[in-house]
Amino acid sequence: MDIQIVQGNETELETSTVNIVIDVIRAFTVAHHAFLQGVDKILLVKSVEEAFALKRDHPDYLLAGEIKGLPIEGFQLDNSPYRIQHEDVKGKTLVQRTTNGVKATLHSLQAEYVFVTGFSNAKTTAKYVQKLLRDKRESTVHIIASHPTSDDDLACAEYIKELIEGKDGSTPKHVIKRITESEVAKKFRDPTMPEFNSTDLLYCTKEIKSSFVMKVNIKDEIPTIERIEV
């Protein structure tokens, strides 16, 4: 098994068996909690305009996302895992547009399987991929740390790689330390930037024992995150 870690959200990857796209702070932590709250599916779009077009055709869809970490005017949801706990999303379809995680995923569709995750569902995802590839003689795995410079996604990528390989490497405590000390986490601890909710970091650094992984359906016209029970 060949496992490669790639950092950034615009890399054009060669075809692989599995791609795992990571966005810890915060897109795929939001997605994880949305599914825990009962969301049906999440459509991934590259632009605000595409999101609004889907909303016009499907008024019941909920738009979620951010630009430079901040809410998008006209979107019903932002990119906060804390705030999504207080929204009624059960049975709903979300349309997600984000700077790093969604963008990286849309550049990572050339694989047999594509998964997304934050740290909260990292272990479940890694164990599922490990099992999925157990009987394959040859396989290639790309783990994409979607933020191009911050250490949070990279720490999670290295953690997932070690779990898939069955190694005793980084502990969750060590990964959490790297996430909370990362470049992108700084603004969530800055009292002069109240628009970034510090509670979000608690959600982004808490592992949850889930019964599902988040798999991207790449056969749909619009790539769609679906909940797959494990």
pLDDT of residue 12: 87
Share of residues in the chain with pLDDT > 90 (%)? 95
Average pLDDT, the chain: 96
Residue 208 is encoded by which pair of tokens?
């949850």
Report percent pLDDT > 70 for the chain: 100
- pLDDT at residue 156 in the model: 98
- Answer with the residue of higher pLDDT: 152 or 137: 152
Q: What is the mean predicted confidence (pLDDT) over 22-29?
A: 98
Range of the domain at 87: 2-229
Strand extents, DSSP E, 50-161: 62-65, 93-97, 111-117, 140-145
Q: What's this model's pTM, rounded to 2 decimal places? A: 0.97
> Is residue 169 pLDDT above 80, yes or no?
no
DSSP string, 163-174: HHHT-----HHH
- Per residue in 28-78, pLDDT (tens digit) is 999 999 999 999 999 999 999 999 999 999 999 999 999 999 999 999 999
Give yes or no for a cis peptide into 178 (omega within 30° of 0): no
215: CATH: 3.90.1560.10
pLDDT at 76: 97
The answer to whether residue 226 scores a pLDDT higher than 80 is yes
Q: Which of 115, 109, 117 is nearest to 129 (CA)?
A: 115
Per-residue pLDDT reduced to its tens digit, 68-114: 999 999 999 999 999 999 999 999 999 999 999 999 999 999 999 99
Domain count, the chain: 1
- In tens, the pLDDT along 171-180 reads 999 999 999 9
SS3 content of the chain, % helix, strand, coil (to 5): 35, 25, 45
